C-alpha cells in the first residue's frame, strides 16, 4: 500500500507534526490526516505499528482540535469521521448489488478431486489455476465504494438484502473510509468480506463478561455477528473487530480511466484491494496449478490452524481466472468456480446424563452438564459449564437429551443446543436447587443478576475455592500446592482458611501417604517464598469480587499499605483507573468487613507483604524504556522471576510481538512468537543465558 519512499515521507511528516500544538492551514491538516491514516494502516492492516499509542492519540487530538475550529475543513474520510452517534431505530434493510451466494462444501480430498474434474470438464481445460485462501469464521459483510468513498456497509441478511450497518463498519479501523479506486478506473465497487474478532480480543471480551458473572459469548463467530448489530457505535469500536476483504462482486468503470487489469484474476483483485489499503488475504492466499497442490496447501493450513490469531473453519478454493469463473457460472445456490474445504468439525453429539451444581469462591452456583465422554478436536469432553439458570431455560435442556457440543480452538466447550427431535419422552427436567448443595444455606439472587449465590461466607466449598485461588499461578503462585492438596488438607482438618497455609502442621503431613521428605521440603520452600510476592498478587489472590489482575495492580499502586483501603470512600475508589461503580462497591464492602481486616492483619503478622510496591517501579534502571517478551520454556529461571528481573531494571513486559518489542528472550521450544520476531529486524533475540548476562550488567 505505502511504498518505501512514501513510508519515509510519512514518517518524516509524523516527526514534524508530533511537536505541534495547533494546525496552521488546510495543507497541514491534510498532511495530518494522511499521517493518521498511514499509522492506522500500519497498526490495523499490517499489524506492525510505527508509532506509540500515546503519540497516535496526541496526533488524533490535534486533528480533532483543528477540525473543531475549522468545521469547513472536515472531510468525510477524516479519521475523526468514524465516530458516530448511536441508533435508536432499527437498521434499514438494503439490497445487495449482486446476491451474496453461499459456497458448496467439501470435506476431503475425494470431494476436491471430484469438483476439480467437473470444473475442468466444463471449462475444457486440462489443468486449472486456483487461488486458495482461508475460510474466515466470522460474519460476512458487503461494502460499496462510490467515487472513492465508502458509501455503504451491509450484513449478508438473506443473501439478497441485508441490514445497513455503515456506522458500525466505520468502527472497524482496518476498513478505509476512502480508497483510490477512481485512479484504477473504477467508479463504483462492491466488495465482500468477513468481520471477525481475533482470539485474543474474544478472550478479553469474555474475561470482562466473566468478571461481571455473565455467561461468555459462545465463539468468535457469534461475537462478530452480534457486534455488528449493536446500536451503539462506541461499543462496537470497543470490541476491536477486524475485517478481511476477499471478493469483488461488482464494478462500474469510471468514464475517464481505463479499468485496471488486476481485476482479471482473483489473486489480482486481492492484490488490488491490498494496494488500496484493505486488509485482504494476500499473504495468506496461494495461487497453485492443479488440484493436488490445492489439497496439500489445505492440509498444511489445517495443521497450523491453532497457531493463527483468529479462527478459520476451512479453506476456500477459487478458480483464479475471472473470465473462466464467468464461463463456469453458478447453480441457484452457489458458484461453480469456488468451493469451501471444511476442516474437521469441532462439534459432536452426546447425551446429557446429569447436571452438577458447583459452588465458586464467591458463592456463585454454576450448573455443570455431565455428558457421555466424547472426543472433540483432540480432547475428550465430559463436563461442560452451563453458566447459570437462564442458559438452561434458553436452551430448553433436559436430562437425557442428545446435545450438540462444540469446542472451537482454545475456547472452552459449550452446548450449542439440544436436539429436541430425538426426545423419546424419557427425559427429565433439570431442577435448579433452592439451597446450597454444600452447606444447605438458602440461595440468593439479586433481581439484576443472572447468578444464584450461597451467601454463607464460611461455606466449605467457598473456603476451599478461595484457598485454591490464593495459591494459584497468577496469585501467590505457590508451586506444588495445587487443588488436590488444598482439598486434602481441608478435609483432614489441617487447613481452614488462607492464613492456615502458613501454619500447616507439617509434622502430621509427613505421615500422609504420598508425601515424601523431598516434596514436603519443596512445598515448605514454595510457601515461604510466596510471602515475598508483590502486593498486587496478594490483592488478586484475595478473590475480591470483580477485582481481576489489572485492577489488583491499580490498587497496589494506589496505597502505601493495603489496610489504607479501610479509609477509602466509594468516591475515592471510583476515581481510580478502570474502577466502575460495581468494582468500587465491592472493594469498599471487602475492606469494611471485620473478619477480612483480621485476616489481613494475621497475614502480615505471618510475614506477607502488605506494603505497597508503589516505590518499586524503576524509571531510571539500566533497561528503562526497553520492552521484553519471554517465550518457550526457560530452564534456569521461572517465567515470573525473569519478568520481575527485567522489571527491576526498568524494563517493561509486553504481551505480543510487534515492532514495539525490543528483546525477545527465547527458551526451549519457542514457537510462533520466535518465527514472527525473526521477521522484524529491530527485535533483538536473546537466549536465557544472554538475558541473565544482560541483567547482571
Ligand atoms: S468467497 C461467491 N472467500 O463463507 C463467493 N467466502 O459458506 C463468495 N467466507 O458466505 C464467498 N472466508 O461469508 C469467500 N475467503 C473467503 C471466505 C468466505 C469466509 C464465508 C462467506 C461465505 C461463506 C460461504
Q: For residue 293, give the C-alpha cell.
A: 497442490
Mean pLDDT of the region 206-216 = 76
- Overall size of the chain counted in residues: 697
For a mutational test of ligand 1's pocket, the pick from 96, 98, 102, i.e. the residue with the most ligand atoms closer than 8 A to its C-beta, is 102
Cβ-contact 319, 347 below 8 angstroms: no
Q: In the predicted model, what is the mean pLDDT of the chain?
A: 92
Measured in whole angstroms, how far is the alpha carbon of residue 45 from the centre of its chain? Answer: 17
Residue 344 has pLDDT above 90, yes or no: no
Percent above pLDDT 70 for the chain? 98
Strand ranges in 139-285 using DSSP code E only, listed in sequence order? 139-146, 149-155, 161-163, 186-196, 242-253
Say which residue the cell 514436603 belongs to. Answer: 520
Ligand 1 atom with minimal separation from the 133 CA: 15
Strand ranges in 328-438 using DSSP code E only, listed in sequence order? 338-342, 347-359, 365-376, 379-385, 398-399, 402-406, 414-418, 428-429
Mean pLDDT of the region 331-350 = 91
Q: CA 220 to CA 308: how far, in whole Å? A: 13
Instruction: Name, in order, each residue with C-beta under 8 angstroms of 285's C-beta and a sequence gap of 6 or more.
Output: 131, 132, 133, 267, 270
Q: CA 564 to CA 674: how far, in whole Å? A: 44
Q: CA 612 to CA 550: how far, in whole Å? A: 15
Q: Look at 230-244, 423-437, 505-519 and tell me which has the smallest mean pLDDT.
A: 505-519
**pLDDT tens readout for residues 621-677:** 788 888 999 988 888 888 778 888 888 888 888 777 888 889 999 988 888 888 888
**pLDDT tens readout for residues 315-331:** 999 999 999 999 999 98
Whole-number CA gyration radius for the chain = 29
Cβ-contact 384, 396 below 8 angstroms: no
| C-beta neighbour count of 148 within 10 angstroms | 21
Residue having the nearest C-alpha atom to atom 2 of ligand 1:
101
Q: CA 290 to CA 399: how far, in whole Å? A: 50
Q: Look at residues 578, 595, 599 and name the one whose alpha carbon lies nearest to residue 470.
A: 599
Looking at residue 670, what is its pLDDT?
84
Q: CA 312 to CA 270: how far, in whole Å? A: 18
Q: CA 78 to CA 67: how far, in whole Å? A: 10
Looking at residue 617, what is its pLDDT?
53
Q: CA 242 to CA 173: how far, in whole Å? A: 8
Mean pLDDT of the region 163-187 = 96
Q: 672 φ, ψ to 5°?
A: -65, -30
- Measured from CB, residues less than 6 Å from any atom of ligand 1 are 101-103, 133, 135-136, 140, 192, 194, 246-247, 316, 335, 338, 340
375 Cα: distance to centroid of ligand 1 (angstroms):
28
Q: CA 160 to CA 96: how far, in whole Å? A: 6
Q: What is the largest CA-CA distance in the chain?
A: 91
Mean pLDDT of the region 680-692 = 90
- Asked if 135 is an active-site residue, the reply is yes
Q: For residue 689, give the C-alpha cell.
A: 543465558
Looking at residue 248, what is its pLDDT?
98
Looking at residue 331, what is its pLDDT?
87
Residue 614 has pLDDT above 70, yes or no: no
642 Cα: distance to centroid of ligand 1 (angstroms):
44
What DSSP character marks residue 472?
Answer: S
Q: For residue 562, give the C-alpha cell.
A: 493495603
Amino acid at each position: 500500500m505505502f511504498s518505501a519512499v512514501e513510508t519515509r515521507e510519512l514518517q518524516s511528516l509524523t516527526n514534524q507534526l508530533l511537536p505541534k500544538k495547533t494546525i496552521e492551514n488546510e495543507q497541514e491538516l491534510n498532511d495530518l490526516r494522511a499521517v493518521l491514516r498511514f499509522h492506522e494502516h500500519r497498526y490495523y492492516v499490517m499489524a506492525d505499528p510505527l508509532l506509540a499509542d500515546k503519540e497516535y492519540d496526541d496526533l488524533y487530538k490535534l486533528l480533532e482540535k483543528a477540525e473543531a475550529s475549522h468545521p469547513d475543513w472536515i472531510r468525510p474520510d477524516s479519521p475523526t469521521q468514524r465516530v458516530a452517534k448511536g441508533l435508536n431505530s432499527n437498521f434499514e434493510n438494503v439490497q445487495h448489488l449482486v446476491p451474496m451466494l453461499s459456497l458448496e462444501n467439501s470435506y476431503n480430498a475425494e470431494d476436491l478431486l471430484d469438483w476439480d474434474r467437473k470444473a475442468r470438464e466444463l471449462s475444457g481445460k486440462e489443468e486449472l489455476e486456483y487461488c486458495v485462501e482461508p475460510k474466515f469464521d466470522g460474519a460476512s459483510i458487503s461494502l460499496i465504494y462510490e467515487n472513492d468513498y465508502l458509501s455503504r456497509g451491509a450484513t449478508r441478511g438473506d443473501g439478497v438484502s441485508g441490514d445497513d450497518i455503515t456506522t458500525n463498519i466505520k468502527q472497524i479501523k482496518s476498513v478505509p473510509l476512502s480508497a483510490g479506486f477512481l485512479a484504477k478506473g473504477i467508479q463504483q465497487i462492491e466488495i465482500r468480506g468477513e468481520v471477525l474478532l481475533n482470539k485474543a480480543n474474544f478472550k478479553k471480551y469474555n474475561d470482562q463478561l466473566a468478571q461481571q458473572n455473565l455467561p461468555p459469548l459462545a465463539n468468535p463467530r457469534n461475537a462478530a455477528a452480534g457486534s455488528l448489530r449493536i446500536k451503539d457505535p462506541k461499543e462496537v469500536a470497543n470490541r476491536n473487530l477486524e475485517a478481511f476483504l476477499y471478493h469483488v462482486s461488482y464494478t462500474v468503470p469510471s468514464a475517464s480511466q481505463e479499468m485496471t487489469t488486476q481485476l482479471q484474476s482473483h489473486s489480482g483483485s486481492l492484490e488490488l484491494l491490498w494496494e488500496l489499503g484493505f486488509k485482504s488475504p494476500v499473504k495468506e492466499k496461494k495461487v497453485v496449478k492443479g488440484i493436488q497442490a490445492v489439497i496439500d496447501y489445505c492440509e498444511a493450513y489445517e495443521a497450523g490452524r491453532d497457531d493463527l490469531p483468529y479462527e478459520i473453519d476451512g479453506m476456500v478454493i477459487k478458480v483464479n481466472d475471472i473470465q473462466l469463473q464467468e464461463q463456469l457460472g453458478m447453480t441457484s445456490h452457489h458458484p461453480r468456480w469456488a468451493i469451501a474445504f471444511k476442516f474437521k468439525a469441532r462439534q459432536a453429539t452426546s447425551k446429557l446424563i446429569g447436571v452438577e451444581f458447583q459452588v465458586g469462591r464467591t458463592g456463585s452456583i454454576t450448573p455443570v452438564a455431565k455428558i457421555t465422554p466424547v472426543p472433540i478436536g483432540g480432547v475428550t469432553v465430559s463436563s461442560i459449564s452451563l453458566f447459570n439458570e437462564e442458559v438452561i431455560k434458553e436452551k430448553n435442556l433436559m436430562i437425557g437429551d442428545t446435545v450438540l457440543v462444540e469446542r472451537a480452538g482454545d475456547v472452552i466447550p459449550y452446548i450449542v443446543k439440544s436436539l429436541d427431535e430425538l426426545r423419546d419422552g424419557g427425559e427429565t427436567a433439570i431442577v435448579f436447587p433452592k439451597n446450597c448443595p454444600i452447606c444447605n444455606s438458602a440461595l440468593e439472587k439479586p433481581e439484576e443478576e443472572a447468578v444464584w449465590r450461597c451467601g454463607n461466607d464460611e461455606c466449605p466449598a467457598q473456603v476451599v475455592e478461595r484457598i485454591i485461588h490464593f495459591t494459584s499461578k497468577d496469585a501467590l503462585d505457590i508451586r506444588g500446592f495445587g487443588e488436590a492438596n488444598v482439598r486434602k488438607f481441608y478435609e483432614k482438618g489441617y487447613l481452614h482458611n488462607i492464613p492456615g497455609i502458613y501454619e500447616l502442621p507439617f509434622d502430621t503431613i509427613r505421615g500422609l501417604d504420598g508425601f515424601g521428605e523431598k516434596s514436603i521440603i519443596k512445598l515448605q520452600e514454595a510457601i515461604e517464598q510466596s510471602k515475598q510476592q508483590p502486593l498486587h498478587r496478594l490483592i488478586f489472590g484475595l478473590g475480591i469480587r470483580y477485582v481481576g489482575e489489572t485492577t489488583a495492580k491499580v490498587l497496589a499502586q494506589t496505597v502505601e499499605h493495603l489496610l489504607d483501603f479501610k479509609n477509602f470512600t466509594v468516591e475515592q475508589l471510583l476515581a481510580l483507573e478502570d474502577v466502575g461503580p460495581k468494582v468500587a462497591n465491592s472493594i469498599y464492602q471487602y475492606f469494611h468487613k471485620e473478619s477480612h481486616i483480621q485476616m489481613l492483619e494475621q497475614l502480615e503478622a505471618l510475614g506477607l507483604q502488605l506494603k505497597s510496591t508503589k516505590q518499586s517501579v524503576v524509571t531510571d534502571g539500566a533497561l528503562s524504556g526497553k520492552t521484553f517478551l519471554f517465550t518457550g520454556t526457560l530452564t534456569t529461571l521461572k517465567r515470573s522471576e525473569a519478568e520481575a528481573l527485567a522489571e527491576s531494571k526498568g524494563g517493561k513486559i509486553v504481551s505480543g510481538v510487534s515492532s514495539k518489542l525490543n528483546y525477545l528472550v527465547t527458551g526451549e521450544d519457542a514457537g510462533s512468537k520466535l518465527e514472527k520476531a525473526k521477521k522484524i529486524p529491530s527485535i533483538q533475540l536473546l537466549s536465557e543465558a544472554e538475558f541473565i548476562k544482560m541483567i547482571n550488567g
